[in-house]
Structure 1
Amino acid sequence: MSGGRVKVLWLAKGLGRGGAEQLLLNCVRHADRSRYDIEVAYVLPHKDALVPALAAAGVEAHCLGGAPGWRWPLRLRALLAERRYDLVHTHMPVPAVAARLLTAGRGGARLVHTEHNLWERYRRPTRWANALTYRRNDAVIAVSHAVAAGVSRRRAGEWLSVVHHGPDLDGAPSGPAARRAARAELGLPPDALVVGSVGNLTAKKDQATMLAAFARLREREPDARLVLVGSGPLEAELRARAGEGVLFAGTRADVPALLPGWDVFCLSSRQEGLPVALMEAMTSGLPSVVTRVGGMPEVLDDGVQGRLVPPGDPAALAAALGELADPGLRERMGAAARERSRSFDVAGAQRAIERVYARVLADANRPAN
């Protein structure tokens, strides 16, 4: 520490437009910059969409990737030696494992890790490497109670904390004009029932189930539209499955401006931590139909702000979407969602994270008995 300021490195796999990455940007806008000097490092060079926004927030981003790709841990080691951080806050298990190994030994940076997902989502080698190094963490933050319950080899005391994050939608458009603009941007009919979803096109998000459910919905609502925001390895397969009324919108930087044009938000995920996209939708006053997985039941009550359905069940998902074809029900659930979203507090989440930092740093400076 220099002059009382703490040098912190946030370490991520990528800085694309995924939910975990967006949390970094949301949190840095509310960080105590008088106390913490924050920098970011990331592994995947092609996932750099948020680098300009971080730069605008005054945060330097270090890309560890590049040819040859396997050398990124060596670049991380050099960065740690050069910048001499007091604390490294890791996100995602693979870079976290590298940081734990590279900071081992006396005088190394303190380690805080945020767990965004359930462990069973990780590949077996990743789970093993994670388990073998996990106790090197000085503290772990879980994004939901469901994620916390899945953290292996927990220690007693305050080692594990749950911090519900939130979206940062200050200044996002709303109201009838925003609805018209969003529908015009996407080429959607002004009066059609529109279901929207945001997520990478991957097996975890299971948009295949959503497409099957939407096909059933179209049987009773022939003018309905489904908007899928995101990209990923399953895009070609999902496009081949999609029927009429489905719009693949790709990766978008303007999701908050698109939300007012939708009637219902939907996630068909098989696994989740606590998705930022759901919290953004609720903050925008959208009712949601999502699967009962991960932390989603912690922020959405079935039948109040939307509907919770089993994962991998197109019939249940279609039935819930069909219920929300009723404008009156959508209005009531949307109002309840907006009210519930008042508890989402990204500034409060960052303050909670900084309390973890303070505790870890205080422990490091406490004399041994």
Structure 2
Amino acid sequence: MPSPTILQIVPELETGGAERTAVDVAERIVAEGWRAIVLSEGGRLVDELKSTGAEYREFPAKTKNPWRMWRNAAAIADLIEAEGVDIVHARSRAPAWSALIAARRTGRPFVTTYHGAYNQKSRLKGYYNSVMARGDVVIANSGYTADLIRSRHDVGDRRIVVIHRGTDMRAFQDPSVADRAEALRTEWAVPAGKRVILQLARLTGWKGQRVTIDALARLSERDDWVGVLAGDAQGREAYLNDLRTRIRDHGLEGRVLLPGHCTDVPAAMAFADTVVVASTEPEAFGRAAVEAQIAGRPVVVSDLGAVTETVLAPPAVGEDARTGWKVPPGDPQALAAALEEVLNLDPDRRASLAERARSHVATRFSLEAMTERTLDVYRGLLAER
């Protein structure tokens, strides 16, 4: 019997959870001796995808034009037949509609991964989102996401599988990380001797950079820190300018930096002292909080969405089980108070916290666990066929 062929479709391969997971799963598919094909409009991760041995096909997967989406369905169906695709896996709504039609036309199993807490303020938007709940198997990237799916769509528990996002812990243990961290510190002009409060997130309103800046303003009497808000504005120049103005108005120029997109997360985490996840809307998973814990860095997160699964903090657990801090979303005063507590940690408490955090993440959120459970989904569908 020939090796199975798995087709994934994602709008682009720039940055983000869906894109990163598509590449990670493709690598695991190839390692299994199977064939992986990814359809996308391209981006930063294409070369990495190709290096795994997966096949990349440039495809107009971002389009939301109904006519183009219908044409895409026909093109995907042709590709399924020509390439002997066994399973179709969609990771975003617009291309998922095309992939669903193609899978049904060709009789192939259809898998979706519900990657985000998609906005759903109208019945029309609810219908648009519903494609992500139409898979033969619907993968939720957290328990929070699974509950969201159940509340929005008529999906039985039998079709929902919770597979937490996984992170490659080896990348944070690479011996070169320390040297790369120093190079990144120099590139970003982070002052020597200052403790770094890091936020790694694309620059968009709901990621909470405004809240972080307002919180840092409350720490301005301390002179031992610098804030780094690293992320790609992705064309949101008005928002970027608003952040610059906010920094200037608080008198934080030179103390809060906006270095742009970060391509080396392990290096950035390595020179950070504290990591902030200040989202003002629920995260379906929240990779930065997990990566901070892998790196052994104290993390302060907004208490909403899936962080209840990724970060442990009182009162849900005792102080001796804490792996981070949770604060109300959109509350700069609470965030500042938590940061003050973190900055005042003694070395022994920081070391204990780091050890607990790494153990917590290794147990529940490893890349190996995520990719193996995803292949189990594929194996089950192949067996049914």
Q: Normalized against structure 1, the TM-score is what?
A: 0.87
Report the counterpart of residue 237 of structure 1 in structure 2: 242
Q: CA deviation at 1:148?
A: 0.5
The counterpart of 1:333, out of the listed 353, 356, 364, is 353
Aligned to 1:114: 113
- 2:278 is matched with which residue? 268
The 1:127/1:339 distance shift into structure 2, 3 A limit, reads same
Cα distance in 1 for residues equivalent to 2:118 and 2:223: 40
Alignment partners' CA distance in 1, 2:55 and 2:109: 20
Q: Which has the higher contact order (CA 8 A, sep 6+)?
A: 1
Residue 144 of structure 1 and its aligned partner are, at CA, apart by 0.6
Distance change in 2, residues 1:346/1:94 (3 Å): same
Query: Matches of 1:362 and 1:149 in 2, distance apart?
Result: 28
Among 44, 53, 56, the residue aligned to 2:51: 56
Cα separation, partners in 2 of 1:123 and 1:264, compared to 1, 3 Å: farther
Superposed CA offset, 1:334-355 (max 9, x none): 2322222221221121111111
Shift of 1:104: 2.8
CA shift in 2, pair 1:96/1:82, >3 Å: closer
Aligned mates of 2:31, 2:122 — CA distance in 1? 36
- The letter of the residue matching 1:279 is V
Query: How far apart in 2 are the matches of 1:135 and 1:324?
Result: 40
Deviation at 1:171, TM superposition (A): 4.4
The CA deviation at 1:240 is: 2.0
Matched, 1:81 2:86: no
Q: State yes or no: 1:316 paired with 2:343.
A: no
Q: Structure 2: give runs of 5+ residues left out of the alignment.
A: 315-321
Local SS of the residue matching 1:29: helix
Aligned position for 1:228? 229
Percent identical among aligned pairs is: 28
Q: Which has the higher helix share?
A: 2
User: For residues 152-205 of structure 1, what are the alpha-carbon distances to aligned partners after superposition, in whole Å with 9 as ceiling and x for unaligned?
Assistant: 334335310111122114244468666544433432233212111111111221
Who is 1:361 aligned against? 382
Aligned to 1:195: 197
Aligned AA (2:288): A
Residue 167 of structure 1 is matched in structure 2 by 167
User: How many pairs were matched up?
Assistant: 356
CA RMSD of aligned residues (A): 2.6
CA 1:135–1:22 in structure 2 vs 1: closer, same or farther (change >3 Å)? closer
Return the alpha-carbon distance in structure 2 between the equivalents of residues 331 and 182 of structure 1: 24
In structure 2, C-alpha distance between the alignment counterparts of 1:124 and 1:288, rounded to whole Å: 37
1:146–1:273 contact (8 Å) kept in structure 2: yes
CA drift of 1:251 comes to: 1.2
Partner of 1:206: 208
In 2 relative to 1, CA 333–102 (structure 1 residues): closer, same or farther, beyond 3 Å? same
Which is further off, 310-319 or 115-124? 115-124
Contact 2:117–2:284 (8 Å) recurs in 1: yes
Match among 282, 289, 310 for residue 299 of structure 1: 310
The more displaced of 18-27 and 300-309 is 18-27
